[in-house]
């Protein structure tokens, strides 16, 4: 670290974000490296260091002897000011080299509101924002993660996207790069063409021309080469037991969001909540065996010393061997004073046995997600939980000494009425009543129920992808109405900022015409828009309008059922026909069984996978 940087670190908050040198980081000899990969997380160090996907892909790439993957995080505002003042470019944690020294730069796109951070990190690095402005001397810019399932709003800034799980795609991209360099036939255009042609799951936006109707909707996507796919199908890891999982992780010097062992139990979800993008794009379910999970947990405990293990998945109680796994873990975690955390429990699967096993977690509260206040609306969204399920679950928690419960709901769901909103307040009141019906409750404490209500974002690849988001005025009216229905001080009401949700909807449902807006936002200093203290709705509206964008066209318009959607260029494995059927069932207030009860023919079975949720995948 040079003297100037050392001086700067003394003047910024949390200098440990930028110091590097952590235990467990991977250092390689540059002379033996043929491809350098910078893995960028477009948010702060504390958040990025807690991301399990980054940990996995960091290890996967560094298994390649001639590839060196390093980590990069977005500096906080005070550090960025110092960097720009002193003309210091963004650098990688391991080597301290600027991003222009790398062959490839990969961004994980976890949240639409981080798009300005992506552009800001490129700008800090001195790299032109648009792919068309970068020549062969510049790094290849790669995007991945859940937001890559609609890459169009940021398509002009990326050279390529990997669609799906990256454990096989990213090493393949590196191997192709090295081979073409060794053979002396590398150019950016040739490399991208070869990648799109030969590596499944690779989407190169520049190779697809988009035309539009007079009303602004998309007419068609046209590939410029005959030998690349017309739609790009996501890739998955089929056998999770043999998939890579790190034995050692980089240990931060400062506190991060999740200072714990994160044990990935399975991928996918058997449920079919109609608002949930993750439940669709991560299908089919692929489980790890309890034996493999137990060994991975032991290995990470020995290498990190963390005193908590979080069993991660979209719905941990749907793991078919949960009892067996927790029993195996408890055989050694109790004596080592390691607690178990099960963060994604469903109310219909919560019972006393699970409660007993997680009793060592240092929290007096539990979180459940009924999502809607009435059974009618829960049927519309296919939540498949009932009021009795919630009351039974909280009763178990109260009997075990818990006194606080957090409940997640959504506002702006299709067919929602004010009766449904009042149902949220009524349900919270029933939970309070249930506390006083527990003879073994903690009588020294009062109950506390927190209800957190978010606004629906009609996300791509969900049955609600065609729906219009409620107007800003309607969302505000609904939030105020619900607040008026809560009079008990033991019920705390919080809600998400509807203005953030509207901009998020624009970015989630947008197309390539948003590039000018995002570039203008970057030039005007937008950053950390997912942070309340940095988000400015009026500035966003100004940027959109000045670049010719009507936000209502994307956020508040019902898309036509036969319309070409911006994300139709991507095949997520689940068919559009299935999503349309589920939308019809929503309006009929009809539920769909989970995948283990009955295969609903979503199409994900064609992707296969070991221990898949779908019987057809095993045939």
Report the pLDDT value the prediction gives residue 617, as an integer from 0 to 100: 40
284 upstream amide cis, omega within 30 of 0: yes
Question: 461 is written with which tokens?
Answer: 């690849």
Q: What is the mean pLDDT of residues 208-223?
A: 98
- 203 pLDDT above the threshold of 80: yes
Find residue 337's DSSP bridge partners.
Answer: none
Confidence of residue 608 (pLDDT cuts 50, 70, 90): low
381/610: higher pLDDT = 381
Q: Following DSSP, what letter does each residue of 416-433 receive, concatenated?
A: --HHHHHHHHHHHHHHHH
Model pLDDT, residue 1: 57
What span, in angstroms and rounded, lies between the C-alpha atoms of 322 and 327?
8
Give CA–CA dist 281/340, Å, rounded.
28
What would the pLDDT profile of 583-593 be if each residue is shown by its tens digit? 999 999 999 99
19, pLDDT greater than 80: yes
pTM: 0.95
C-alpha span between 256 and 254 (Å, rounded): 6
Of the candidates 191, 196, 147, which has an alpha carbon nearest to the alpha carbon of residue 169? 196
Span 379-388, average pLDDT = 96
d(CA 402, CA 394): 9
**Exposed/middle/buried for 114, CB within 10 Å: 0-12, 13-18, 19+?**
buried
Residue 194: phi, psi to the nearest 5? -65, -40
Q: What is the dihedral of CA 142, 145, 151, 154, to 10 degrees?
A: -60
Average pLDDT over residues 140-151: 98
pLDDT value at position 355?
Answer: 76
Confidence (pLDDT) at 616: 43
On whether the CB atoms of residues 592 and 586 are closer than 8 A, the answer is no
- % the chain with pLDDT above 70: 96
- The answer to whether residue 68 scores a pLDDT higher than 70 is yes
Name residues whose C-beta falls within 8 Å of residue 200's C-beta, 6 or more positions apart in sequence: 169, 233, 235
Nearest to 296 by CA among 244, 239, 357: 244
Cβ 146 vs Cβ 35: under 8 Å: no
| Tokens at 551, concatenated | 């936000």
Compute how many other C-beta atoms are within 10 angstroms of the C-beta atom of residue 1.
13
Decide: 277 and 461 in contact? Cβ < 8 Å: yes
- Write down the pLDDT at residue 605: 86
For the chain, the structural domain boundaries read 22-233, 260-354+589-619
For residue 473, is pLDDT > 90?
yes
Q: Is the pLDDT of residue 308 over 70?
A: yes
435-462 pLDDT, tens digit per residue, is: 999 998 888 899 999 999 999 999 999 9
Instruction: Please tell me what DSSP assigns to residue 241.
Output: T
Q: Indicate whether 618 pLDDT > 50.
A: no
Residue 109 and residue 163 in contact, taking contact as beta carbons nearer than 8 Å: no
By three-state DSSP, how is residue 571 classified?
strand
DSSP string, 4-48: HHHHHHTTSS-GGGT----BT-----GGG-SEEEEEEESS-HHHH
**Of 49-63, 248-262, 372-386, 533-547, which range is least confident?**
248-262
Q: Do domains 22-233 and 260-354+589-619 have the same CATH topology?
A: no
Residues 332-343: tens digit of each pLDDT: 998 999 988 887
CB-count exposure of residue 30 (10 Å: 0-12, 13-18, 19+): exposed
**pLDDT score at 615:** 46
Burial of 337 (0-12, 13-18, 19+ CB in 10 A): exposed
Average pLDDT of every residue of the chain: 94
**Domain topology for 260-354+589-619:** Transcription Regulator spoIIAA (3.30.750)
When pLDDT is averaged across residues 49-70 and rounded to a whole number, the result is 96
Q: How far apart are CA 129 and CA 119, in angstroms?
A: 6
The reported pLDDT for the residue numbered 217 is 98
Does 611 have pLDDT greater than 50? no
| Domain 22-233 class in CATH | alpha beta
């Amino acid at each position: 670290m040079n003297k100037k940087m050392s001086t700067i670190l003394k003047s910024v908050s949390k200098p440990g974000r930028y110091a590097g040198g952590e235990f467990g980081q991977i250092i390689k000899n540059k002379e033996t490296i043929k491809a350098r990969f910078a893995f960028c997380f477009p948010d702060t160090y504390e958040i990025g260091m807690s991301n399990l996907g980054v940990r996995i892909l960091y290890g996967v790439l560094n298994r390649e002897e001639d590839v060196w993957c390093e980590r990069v995080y977005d500096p906080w505002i005070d550090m960025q000011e110092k960097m720009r003042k002193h003309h210091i470019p963004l650098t990688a944690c391991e080597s301290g080299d600027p991003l222009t020294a790398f062959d490839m730069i990969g961004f994980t796109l976890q949240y639409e509101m981080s798009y300005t951070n992506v552009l800001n990190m490129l700008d800090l690095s001195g790299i032109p924002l648009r792919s068309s402005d970068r020549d062969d001397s510049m790094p290849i810019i790669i995007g991945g993660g859940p937001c890559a399932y609609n890459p169009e709003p940021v398509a002009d800034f990326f050279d390529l996207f990997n669609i799906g799980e990256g454990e096989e795609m990213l090493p393949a991209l590196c191997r192709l790069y090295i081979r073409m360099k060794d053979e002396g036939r590398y150019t950016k255009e040739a490399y991208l063409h070869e990648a799109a042609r030969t590596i499944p799951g690779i989407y190169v936006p520049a190779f697809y021309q988009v035309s539009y109707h007079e009303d602004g909707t998309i007419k068609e996507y046209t590939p410029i080469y005959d030998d690349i796919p017309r739609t790009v199908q996501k890739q998955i890891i089929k056998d999770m037991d043999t998939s890579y999982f790190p034995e050692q992780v980089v240990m931060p010097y400062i506190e991060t969001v999740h200072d714990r062992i994160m044990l990935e139990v399975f991928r996918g979800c058997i449920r079919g909540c109609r608002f949930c993008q993750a439940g669709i794009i991560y299908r089919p379910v692929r489980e790890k065996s309890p034996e493999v999970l137990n060994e991975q947990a032991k290995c990470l405990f020995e290498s990190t010393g963390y005193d908590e293990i979080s069993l991660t998945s979209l719905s941990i109680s749907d793991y078919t061997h949960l009892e067996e796994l927790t029993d195996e873990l408890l055989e050694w975690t109790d004596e080592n004073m390691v607690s178990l955390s099960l963060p994604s429990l469903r109310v219909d699967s919560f019972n006393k046995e699970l409660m007993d096993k997680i009793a060592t977690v240092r929290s007096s509260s539990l979180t459940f997600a009924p999502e809607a206040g009435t059974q009618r609306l829960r049927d519309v969204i296919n939540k498949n939980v009932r009021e009795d399920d919630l009351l039974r679950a909280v009763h178990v928690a109260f009997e075990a000494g818990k006194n606080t419960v957090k409940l997640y709901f959504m506002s702006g769901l299709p067919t929602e009425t004010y009766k449904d909103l009042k149902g949220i307040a009524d349900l919270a009141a029933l939970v309070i009543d249930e506390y006083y019906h527990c003879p073994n409750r903690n009588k020294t404490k009062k109950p506390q129920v927190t209800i957190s209500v978010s606004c629906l974002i009609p996300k791509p690849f969900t049955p609600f992808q065609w729906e219009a988001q409620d107007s800003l005025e309607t969302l505000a009216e609904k939030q105020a109405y619900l607040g008026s229905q809560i009079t008990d001080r033991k019920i705390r009401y919080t809600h998400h900022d509807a203005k953030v949700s509207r901009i998020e909807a624009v970015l989630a449902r947008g197309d390539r015409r948003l590039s000018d807006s995002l570039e203008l936002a970057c030039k005007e200093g937008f950053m950390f828009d997912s942070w309340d203290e940095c988000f400015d709705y009026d500035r966003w509206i100004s940027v959109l309008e000045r670049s010719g964008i009507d936000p209502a066209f994307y956020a508040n318009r019902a898309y036509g059922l036969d319309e070409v959607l911006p994300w139709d260029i991507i095949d997520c494995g689940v068919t559009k026909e299935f999503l349309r059927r589920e939308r019809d069932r929503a309006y009929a207030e009809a539920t769909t069984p989970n995948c283990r009860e009955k295969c609903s023919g979503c199409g994900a079975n064609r992707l296969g996978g070991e221990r898949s949720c779908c019987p057809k995948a095993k045939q």
